Each structure stands twice: as structure tokens, then as C-alpha cells.
Amino acid sequence: MSKKLWGGRYASKTNSEVEQYTASINFDVTLAHEDILGSMAHAKMLSHCGIITTEEGDQLQQALLDIANKISQNQLQFNIEDEDIHMNIERMLTENLGEVAGKLHTARSRNDQISLDLHLYLRKKIVEIVRLLTRLQETLLTLSKQHIHTILPGYTHLQRAQPIYFSQHGLAYVAMFQRDIDRLKDSWIRVNKSPLGAAALTGTSFPIDRHYVANELGFEGIYVNTLDAVSDRDFVVEFISSGALIMMHLSRMSEELILWSSQEFNFISFDERYCTGSSIMPQKKNPDVVELGRGKVGRVYGALLSVLTMLKGLPLAYNKDLQEDKEPLFDVIKTLCQTLSIYSPLINTLKVNEAVMRQAAQGGYLNATILAEYLVKKGMCFRSAHEVVGKMVAFCINNKCSIENLSLKEMQQFSVMISEEVYEIISIDNACAACVPSSLLREEIASSEHQLQVNYRWVAEKTDLLQSVYVKYALVY
């Protein structure tokens, strides 16, 4: 006879290879505390609705709490024969309570149970990742404030284009990460809905109160359609998609940091604590941390494609394929948390080589655009001004000099509109300030600082909400 908790109709034991192939306990053990939290709230709801007695509800909740404490202390072992986290915990509960344990699964299915666990787990991780992103923003903002007057070359096509402030460059990434935060905050709305009560797919004939249990768990609502509740993994795809964008932004920043730390650029230097050496070349100082940050984006992209592909052909409602959402999701969360955690101190310890940056900005004719705009302001049409300055640049290249090294007489050979004040206008400092006044930078910094506080308040608010749910059931958040 089968000893599975679901094995009533089965006369034979499950093939051992099938058990190994279909079991998920090796990875969904990650959801243990969320599974217990959801079960405690479900037991409370069953008692509240009179489906089980108050005494039975209390017994179930206390026994589940005891299991949670033992899991926290690594005192319990999970068995592959019980397949998943749900059946393992139910088995432990049965060993403690006997027949009363069998009442816990009244009016629910593993289908809505696993969906609930994912919602509970993911909303907690969204808050953590928003906190890490905001911390990274704060680090970048601090660096930007320190270098509000530091000038470096701005690039297009990886060719020197125009002079910019280092502050402006850092603030660009602050803005990118803010979009990432906004996406995560928006996804919270869909993650923070309860699927519990959908049971296997059609709901249940028991007089349960789905809104009661949703409120107990701090959810802002429920899934209206029960088939959708058990089969929806849009929220997983949406989160991984947001994670892919976060990693892409980190990868772009990593690429620049790698380039800038090379001897060819020498714009920055990494703290030795965030570098490694070569096993053969004694002089090497390798930026392995940011190289890994750039490389790990691939596994997040892979996770997104994996989950999308898994979902694309599934009929309603639940299918075993959905088990394949967890490992990619858990890996993305681990990758994001590890990467974001290490990037803040890494950037905080960067050494910025201001003199080298400035020297690079003074080469490559980066003041050519501001000179063309000067001629336009004098009355020349832009296309003519573009051609005039282009010829001046060609002349300077042939004569191995910069535009500002030309005499006024030499400049006037290209246009009589040029006068003495041109030297001040095309200086590297004025060329930079003309496009990005310091007042504009300070406004952007002030706006970013305000947004940081908004982000931190959101994190604090959601953390308080989630902690209150766990504390209510005497669980550790």
C-alpha cells in the first residue's frame, strides 16, 4: 500500500526514480516559514468559520509554531518521500497531533497553498531588494555630491563626445535604479493578493472566508477567479523581468567601471578588498567583483526565459510544470541580493582620479560642439557652423594641436564671426557648465535625496506590515 498522504486510491508505492524526479523538497524548503505562516492563518480561519473547533484551531497553530521553531534550530529533517514542503510539514504535524492534523487541509489544496507561499515569500524579498537598491542609490548619490565639479569625457559610440561632470554620470545610474524601484513597488500590488481559498481550481463547498484569511496575512485583496489564482505565475515573471533590468543596469555600470579601472583609462581605482590577483602574473589587480556582476546577468536572463517558456503552453488550471518556477526564482533573488549587497561598499571605496579624468576631457576636441553653438548664437545657421568647426578640427588634427591653442587670427580664417571671448567660452569648465549648470545638478541631487526618503519610508512601511503579520503568529520575520 502507498504511504503517501494522498495515496488512498494507490495500491503500489511510487517508483523511487519518479520520487527523485518529481520531488521539490530540496528547493522549496526555502518556503518553510511561509508555508507554516499560511497554514496557521488557514487554521485560524477554519476555526473562525466554524469548520473546525476553536480547540482544534489552537492545537494546529501551536503545533505548527513548534515545527517552525524546530526548523529554525535545524532540528528537523525533510524527506524526499513526502515530495514537497507542504507534505513534509503535514507529516510532521500528523506525528505530533495525530488525526487532528488531517483537518488542516480542509478547504484547500496544494495548488492554492504553493501559490500562497510564493506570494508571501516574494513580497518579503521585494521589500529587501528595494532596500538594497535604495542603499546603492544613496552610495552613488554620496559619490556624485563629492564630485560635483569633477569633469571627465562623456562618450557616445565609446568615442569622446562632450565634457560632462562625474556627478551627472553617477546620477544617471541613480535614475536607472529608481525606475527599477518603481517597477518593484508597482509589482507589489499584484504580489500582495491572496490566492488561498481557490483550493484545487474551483474553490470549495465549505463556508470559508477568503477575505478574513487575506486580512490576517496582510494582503490587500484576493484573486477573484479561482482558476487564475492557482495557475497565475505572472507575478513571478514580472519580478524576474524587473530583476533582469536591475542586473542589466548593474552590468552597464560594471562595464564602465572595468574600462575606467584599466591602465588605458585610469579614471578610477578599486579598493584592494574588492579585487583579486593572478595566479601567474604578480602585478595584476583584477576587478573580479564587477566582472562577475556583469557576468551574472546571464543567469537572470536565463531564468526569465525559462519561466516564460514553461508557462507558454500550459492549459488552466494547475499543472506540475509550475514546479519549475521556483529554482529560477530563488536563484534570481539570491543573485540580486548578493550583487546589490556588495556593490554599495565597492562603490563607496572607489578612488576617483580627478586629474586624469580632466586631462582626458581636454583632449579629443570635446569643446567642438560648444564652439558650433557659439557660432549659431552669433547668427550662423547650425549646419554651416557644424561644417566650419569640422574644418577647424581637421586643421588641428593635421597640425597636432587643440582648438583652444589656435590663435584668434587662425580661427578667423574659418569664420570672421569668431572674436576674443571665444577662448573663455570653449574652455573645458565653461563648455561643461554651459550645458549642465551647477544649479541644475544641485536640483537633481536634491530631488534624488527626496526620492531616497520616499523609498526608505516605503520600505519601512512594508516591513512594519510584514513584521506585524509574522509577530501575530509568533514567527520570526
Catalytic residues: 157, 278
How is residue 189 written as a grid cell? Answer: 500590488
Q: Is the dihedral of CA 318, 323, 328, 333 positive or negative?
A: positive
Say how far apart CA 311 and CA 319 lie, in whole Å. Answer: 10
Return the axis-axis angle of helices 110-146 and 32-48, rounded to nearest 10°. Answer: 130
Q: Is the dihedral of CA 277, 280, 282, 284 positive or negative?
A: negative
Distances (CA, A) of 359 to 153, 163, 350: 9, 11, 19
Terminal CA-to-CA distance of the chain, rounded, Å? 40
How is residue 183 annotated by DSSP? H
**Beta-bridge partners for 162:** 154
**Beta-bridge partners for 269:** 351
Categorise residue 355: left if φ over 0, alpha if ψ from -120 to 50, beta otherwise.
alpha
Say how far apart CA 347 and CA 271 lie, in whole Å. Answer: 9
How is residue 449 written as a grid cell? Answer: 535625496
